[in-house]
Amino acid sequence: MATPQLTKNQTLVMDALSHSEGPMSAYTILDKLRDHGFRAPLQVYRALDKLLEYGLVHRLESLNAFVACSCPHDHEHDHGVTAFTICEGCGQVTEFHDEAIEQRLSTLTRAQNFKTEKTTIEIRGHCQSCV
Amino acid sequence: MATPQLTKNQTLVMDALSHSEGPMSAYTILDKLRDHGFRAPLQVYRALDKLLEYGLVHRLESLNAFVACSCPHDHEHDHGVTAFTICEGCGQVTEFHDEAIEQRLSTLTRAQNFKTEKTTIEIRGHCQSCV
DNA sequence: GCAATCATGTAATGTTATTACATCAATTGC
DNA sequence: GCAATTGATGTAATAACATTACATGATTGC
Ligand SMILES: [Zn+2]
Ligand SMILES: [Zn+2]
Ligand SMILES: [Zn+2]
Ligand SMILES: [Zn+2]
């Protein structure tokens, strides 16, 4: 999906996430954007919905939080299965993609006749610096 | 970890999940157990914490819900990485384990010097019956 | 102009999870 | 026996996350 021009609110949320060190909850984003006129959770959630749809942002299910996509590409194509390592120590999140895992999951779901729509892979633990 | 004798509340929560068709939220469990004297969320969450620790129950991060482990074994040993398919149509959840994926993830995290503590794999989509 | 669509604003509510504090029972050490 | 510890429980209050409902404003196509 080609990414359309972002609206004002979408841009504000995207910028907040892009400039953040790590993932942010919707309410943290809301607080960051109060100075820019944000007043209600829905302003954030609506923007996030679109940014997720465009593939510019990922949701971390195990954190109830959101993170800017770290892929260098232009998001003009689907980037397949996304996986994350999440450090419990410093909060660092690393996005990665692996063709072998994607293939294997595809084989397994095909065997169940299961039609995959979204795959969540999140690995919680400690990074190199936080052992 | 050997599973110790379950307490009264842990047994009630475990039974509720075991007899359920699919995953249940903590508050749904609470409602089911009101007749047995449950009054507050914490009674459920405390039992769930232990059941998760013993490996008798899994948490589905993308649903904020809990499901009884479907493994036949006696839970006397760790059962490695657990993955789920979750049907958006009928709510059916299927637990599975795959050594190849576990190996591959292990290789990838080792390359980052990341120490894994918990791995979440959840595949949302539609099952055979719900295409 | 007018309908249709999309973005936005705001309030209220719903859902999920935790903190804080009190009580009770079983176990341990002496 | 009995104080101290530990683990389980009960209850209330609050925090954190997310959605529903309704109203308004801007843009586009005709
Ligand atoms: Zn990405
Ligand atoms: Zn770290
Ligand atoms: Zn299991
Ligand atoms: Zn189904």
Tens of pLDDT, residues B97-118: 999 999 999 999 999 999 999 9
**What is the percentage of chain A residues whose pLDDT exceeds 70?**
93
Does the pLDDT value for residue B124 go beyond 60?
A: yes
- Point out the residue among A62, A87, A125 whose CB comes nearest to the CB of B61: A62
Question: Domain A8-130 carries which CATH code?
Answer: 1.10.10.10
Does the pLDDT value for residue A47 go beyond 90?
A: yes
Which nucleotides in chain C have some atom under 7 angstroms from a protein Cβ?
Answer: 7-12, 15-20
User: What's residue A42's pLDDT?
Assistant: 98
Token pair of B8 as six digits: 């009264």
Q: Give residue-wise pLDDT tens across range B56-102.
A: 999 999 999 999 999 866 665 677 899 999 999 999 999 999 999 99
Report CB contact under 8 Å: A121, B120. Answer: yes
Domain segments of chain B: what residues? 8-130
* Residues of chain B contacting residue A128, judged by C-beta atoms under 8 Å apart: 112-114
Report CB contact under 8 Å: A127, B120. Answer: no
A64 phi and psi angles, rounded to 5 deg: 50, 50
SS3 content of chain B, % helix, strand, coil (to 5): 40, 25, 40
Q: How far is CA B111 from the centre of its chain?
A: 28
Strands A115-126 and B115-126: antiparallel
* Residues of chain B contacting residue A122, judged by C-beta atoms under 8 Å apart: 61, 119-120
Q: Considering only residues 59-118 of chain A, list those whose CB is below 7 Å from strand D.
A: 64-65
Chain B residues within 8 angstroms (CB to CB) of chain A:
61-62, 83, 85, 87-88, 94, 96, 98, 100-101, 104-105, 108-109, 112-128, 131
Does the pLDDT value for residue A76 go beyond 60?
A: no
- Residue B41: which of B66, B19, B69 has the closest Cα? B66
**What is the percentage of chain B residues whose pLDDT exceeds 90?**
89
Does the pLDDT value for residue A91 go beyond 60?
A: yes
Q: State the Cα–Cα distance between residues A119 and A109, nearest whole angstrom.
A: 11
Could you tell me which residue, A75 or A126, shows the higher pLDDT?
Answer: A126
- Give yes or no for CB of B47 within 7 Å of strand D: yes
Chain A residues within 8 angstroms (CB to CB) of chain B:
61-62, 83, 85, 87-88, 94, 96, 98, 100-101, 104-105, 108-109, 112-128, 131
- Point out the residue among A83, A113, A125 whose CB comes nearest to the CB of B117: A125
Token pair of B63 as six digits: 């649903």
Which nucleotides in chain D have some atom under 7 angstroms from a protein Cβ?
Answer: 8-13, 16-21
**What is the percentage of chain A residues whose pLDDT exceeds 90?**
89
Give Dmax over CA atoms of chain B in angstroms: 52
Could you tell me which residue, B73 or B125, shows the higher pLDDT?
Answer: B125
For the entire predicted model, the pTM comes to: 0.94
User: What's residue A4's pLDDT?
Assistant: 85
Token pair of A90 as six digits: 């410093």
* Residues of chain A contacting residue B119, judged by C-beta atoms under 8 Å apart: 121-124
Does the pLDDT value for residue A64 go beyond 90?
A: yes
Q: Give residue-wise pLDDT tens across range A92-121.
A: 999 999 999 999 999 999 999 999 999 999
Residue corresponding to tokens 């919707």: A26
